[in-house]
Structures are given as structure tokens and as C-alpha cells.
Amino acid sequence: MTGEATSVTLKQAFSHARDILTANNIEDAYLEGELLLRHTLKISRVQLYLDLDYELSSKQEETFWHLIERRLSGEPTAYITGHRQFYGFDFYVDPSVLIPRPESELLVEKALKLAQNGTMPTIAEVGTGCGAITISLALNLPQTKIYATDISVSALKVALFNCQKHGVANRICLLQGDMLDPLLEPVDLIIANLPYVKESELSPICLANFEPPLALNGGSDGLEKIRQLCRQLNNQLCPDGCLLLEIGQGQRKAITTFLRSLFPSAKIEVTPDLGGIDRVVSLTLPSDTLHQAG
């Protein structure tokens, strides 16, 4: 006579998943286990912790462990659940877009500070991806006109979905094209989190993270896309305009030197992220320096 299968509670499944994820060197195993369990049951964080004694059905348990297996294979939790938190907002993501990183929130913070301290009626984000940066700005700057460009049609579809989700589709102009080419007019602030990974380092990163190579490939030295953008500023940045760039570790000197060669009298600042890594380059162009760029 066979015994009946023992039901597993939320608490037990959560604990077991955390142990497995930890044993497989998954960072933030506790949070990732929680996100996958909540996604399985379609419940909020509050519901999860209020009902830890809830017993999973066999179907729910099967689904949950399938998601854990996908995570162990290297697939990011954000792609599994289709969600990513950024700057306090929830965004839909899929493998056609880069998953927003917490360090990129620094771009939003710097942009908001510039907007509060001066006149920034028009903003453009280059390479918007899922739209997280652009939408975060739109939600905090209701009077600002915002453009968002991306070379990927698939990425712009994700960005449009997120614009509609957050109710800002009528305030963000999504444009398909390379860099600043599709811009309809010069703007006061340009924000860009462009690919800055060296091409030689790309394959293992994409393989491990399931992310689109187009959103990561910065060319032979990681700076090709950034240099391309900076050379276009002459025609697309208003007098006294600003540029905010996200950069990678160890790229500060090369980028600031390049910017100084294009705009000798510009004000250049570099801000580190919470990990102490130089992360955001800020360039402010006096009105008489714009036409020095070649």
C-alpha cells in the first residue's frame, strides 16, 4: 500500500528553493526564490508572508520547480517572470531588451537633479531598451517633453508596452533609428546607457545572461558606441545642454579624455555608483563650445 504524497507548504518550498539557489551560487537567493514563488502563485509579497502555511497543489509545485530549474540554467529571473523593478516602478522585460540594472538609477537621479536646478524642457534617451529610464523620468517630470530612441524595433515594442502600462505613452515620443539620427529637434539633455562591453568579452556574458548582444557590444575597446554618440552632439544638443553617459569600470579616463578633445571648454564630472565604481559621466556644454565638435 503506497502512502499519499505529502503536501508542501509555501514556507517549505521557499526554504528549499533558497537552499538550492544558494548552493548553486545564485546571488540574492532569498529574493530570487521569493520572486519565483510569487510568480508561480500570482500573489503579492504581503500575501506570501501572510500565508506561509498554504499548501501548494501538485501543479503549483511542479510549475515552481520548473522555474527554479530555468534559473539554475542561467536564465535571469527577470526574463522568467517578465518583470523588473527599477527606480520604484515595475517594468515588463523580455530577451529583446537588456535587464535594467540598479546602478543605472544613478542616471535618473542625475537627470532629475539637472531638471530641478535648471531648464530642461526637452530630454532624449538614446538606446532606451525597455524604457525604464525614460519612463521613470516622465513620471517624475510631467511637464517635460521626452524622446526615446532605439535601433531595435523589438525593444521599442517593449518600451511602448511599458509606456502604456505607466500611462505616459502620450508624453514620450518613441523613435526607431541609430543613436541621435531619428531625433526631430535639438534637446536640452541627452541620456545614454549605451553598450560598453568589449566585443572580446561578449560571448560568455550573453551566454550566461541570455541578454541581447546588440545591447552589450561596445566594439573592440567597449567605447565605439559612446564615441559615435558624442560626435553627433554638435547638431542635436541645445546651447548650454547636458549629456549624461553611463560607463563601465575602468573607462573613466578614456571617455573623459575623448570628450575633452571634442569640447575643450565643457564642464565634465564623473559620479561613482554605490559600489564606488565610476558610473556616470556628466558633460555640460557652454553655448559657445557646441560647434567645436567634429
Could you tell me the residue range of the domain that residue 285 belongs to? 84-292
Last residue in a domain, options 28, 51, 73 = 73
In a domain, 277, yes or no: yes
Same domain flag for 94 and 159: yes
How far lies 238's CA from each of 119, 124, 182, in Å? 11, 12, 16
Share of the chain above pLDDT 70, in %: 87
Same domain flag for 38 and 123: no
- What are the pLDDT digits (tens) for 13-41? 999 999 999 999 999 999 999 999 999 99
pLDDT band at 116 (very low <50, low <70, confident <90, very high): confident
Instruction: Catalogue the E-assigned strands of the chain.
Output: 83-86, 89-92, 122-126, 145-150, 172-176, 187-192, 237-246, 267-272, 278-284
Please answer whether residues 293 and 234 qualify as being in contact, where contact means their C-beta atoms are separated by less than 8 angstroms.
yes
pLDDT at 224 exceeding the cut of 80: yes
Same domain flag for 268 and 140: yes
What is the mean pLDDT of the segment spanning 81-96? 96
- Contacts of 19 by beta carbon, 8 Å cutoff, 6+ apart: none
Number of domains in the chain: 2
Same domain flag for 111 and 168: yes
What is the mean pLDDT of the segment spanning 142-157? 95
pLDDT at 2 exceeding the cut of 50: no
- Contacts of 254 by beta carbon, 8 Å cutoff, 6+ apart: 221, 223
- What are the pLDDT digits (tens) for 232-271? 998 899 988 999 999 988 889 999 999 999 999 999 999 9
What is the mean pLDDT of the segment spanning 112-127? 89
Query: Which amino acid does the sequence have at 279?
Result: R
Same domain flag for 90 and 207: yes
pLDDT at 141 exceeding the cut of 70: yes
Please answer whether residues 106 and 224 qualify as being in contact, where contact means their C-beta atoms are separated by less than 8 angstroms.
no
What pLDDT does residue 127 have?
Answer: 95
Same domain flag for 144 and 211: yes
What pLDDT does residue 206 have?
Answer: 53
In a domain, 1, yes or no: no
What pLDDT does residue 217 have?
Answer: 57
The separation between the first and the last C-alpha atoms of the chain, rounded to the nearest angstrom, is 83
Q: What is the pTM of this model?
A: 0.89
Same domain flag for 227 and 173: yes
pLDDT at 218 exceeding the cut of 80: no
pLDDT band at 182 (very low <50, low <70, confident <90, very high): very high
For the chain, the average pLDDT equals 89
What pLDDT does residue 212 have?
Answer: 73
Per the model's pLDDT, the better-predicted residue between 222 and 208 turns out to be 222
Same domain flag for 51 and 171: no
pLDDT at 208 exceeding the cut of 60: no
What pLDDT does residue 3 have?
Answer: 43
- Contacts of 171 by beta carbon, 8 Å cutoff, 6+ apart: 138, 142, 145, 146
> In a 3-state reduction of DSSP, which class is residue 33?
helix
